Chains A and B, each alone.
Chain A
Amino acid sequence: MYNPLLRKLSRAIDLTAEDEKLLNDVIGVQRGVEARQDIIQEGDRPEEVHLIVQGFACRYKLLPNGERQIVAILIPGDFCDLHVAILGEMDHGIATLSRCKVVHIPRKTIDELTRNHPRITHALWWATLVDEAILREWITNLGRKPADRHIASLMCEMYLRLKSIGLVSDHTFELPMTQQEVADAVGISIVHANRMLAELRDRGLVTFQGRRVRITDIDELVAFAGFNKNYLHLRRRNNPENGQRIVHDQGREQGS
């Protein structure tokens, strides 16, 4: 069974067979949600934790004038509201970008996992920290990157995140975002977003086939974007407690 949560958390730490079984068991009933629907709203106090297993969603905040800032994009394997068990109340909304399949996990299940399974708790903590690292990158991009480099960076990020869960083939991936949604994520006007997307295409960096994006040359796009993938923490840190072997060569570590 393809379990995007397991695939993601396996990057955090070596999971035992028992851990893997628990994470597979957590994928219970999947409910379909149409595109552009709220999964959860700001102010909600959900009793269940929501996990995306298929499709794309976004975290967003609304401004008093009705404008929206998308503050994160969620892909399969991403929890919507894991933190709400601790924080109590949603301080932002989550909406689907495409049709999604969402698993509802009772809070009790998460409590039980975190109380009795330290490796899983470590992995969940890791996932939250990576989300935080992504936010730092978004703040930097929103604050300082020109729009064309910013959108290019977003595409690099989605490419790598989707690749890590097996959803990229032939440098092509789905990005089910309208121009308004891209504008909302990048903090620019829709007219500007339209122009910048056309520019990326005219520069030969990407091609669009409906909602699918094909990256012509990832190295070129990365260079254009000024993108550094370090914040995605795609490689596991070498740590003997993780069960990974470190091979020493005259005192220097050699990573995987």
Chain B
Amino acid sequence: MPLYYFDVLDGERFIRDDTGHECADAAAVRRAAIESLPGMASDVMPDGDRHSIAVKVRDEDGVYVYEAALTLNAGPVDR
């Protein structure tokens, strides 16, 4: 099965995946990317009113093929 690398962009921090995971097909890539987000987000939020966490998936050639992001936008309602 081909290897895919799931890099994480947590706010401004970029964390490179040096291990990679095997994914059978595009559906598996999508699932792994999307399912990883809520868990990671719950660990880092809320630490401010605006925070975005994203997963960018690279194939074995280093080409980005998929991405998914969760964004927190919070604040009082302007009167």
Q: Does A188 contact B (CB under 8 A)?
A: yes
Contacting residues, chain A, for B3 (C-beta < 8 A): none
Q: Does B2 contact A (CB under 8 A)?
A: no
Q: Does A90 contact B (CB under 8 A)?
A: no
Contacting residues, chain A, for B36 (C-beta < 8 A): 189-192
User: How long is the Cα–Cα vector from A192 to B6 in the complex, in angstroms?
Assistant: 10
Question: In the assembled complex, how far is the CB of residue A231 from the closest CB belonging to chain B, in whole angstroms?
Answer: 23
Contacting residues, chain B, for A147 (C-beta < 8 A): 39-40, 43
Question: In the assembled complex, how far is the CB of residue B39 from the closest CB belonging to chain A, in whole angstroms?
Answer: 5
User: How long is the Cα–Cα vector from A147 to B39 in the complex, in angstroms?
Assistant: 8
The count of chain B contact residues (Cβ–Cβ below 8 Å) is 16
B39→A198 contact, CB < 8 A: no
Residues of B within 8 A of A (CB): 6, 8, 15, 17-19, 21, 32-33, 35-36, 39-40, 42-43, 55
Contacting residues, chain B, for A114 (C-beta < 8 A): none
B15→A179 contact, CB < 8 A: no
User: How long is the Cα–Cα vector from A192 to B18 in the complex, in angstroms?
Assistant: 13
Question: In the assembled complex, how far is the CB of residue B37 from the closest CB belonging to chain A, in whole angstroms?
Answer: 8
Contacting residues, chain A, for B15 (C-beta < 8 A): 195, 198-199
- Return 18 A-B CB contacts under 8 Å, by A number: A146-B42, A146-B43, A148-B43, A179-B19, A179-B21, A188-B39, A189-B32, A189-B36, A189-B39, A191-B21, A192-B40, A194-B6, A194-B19, A195-B8, A195-B15, A195-B40, A198-B15, A199-B15
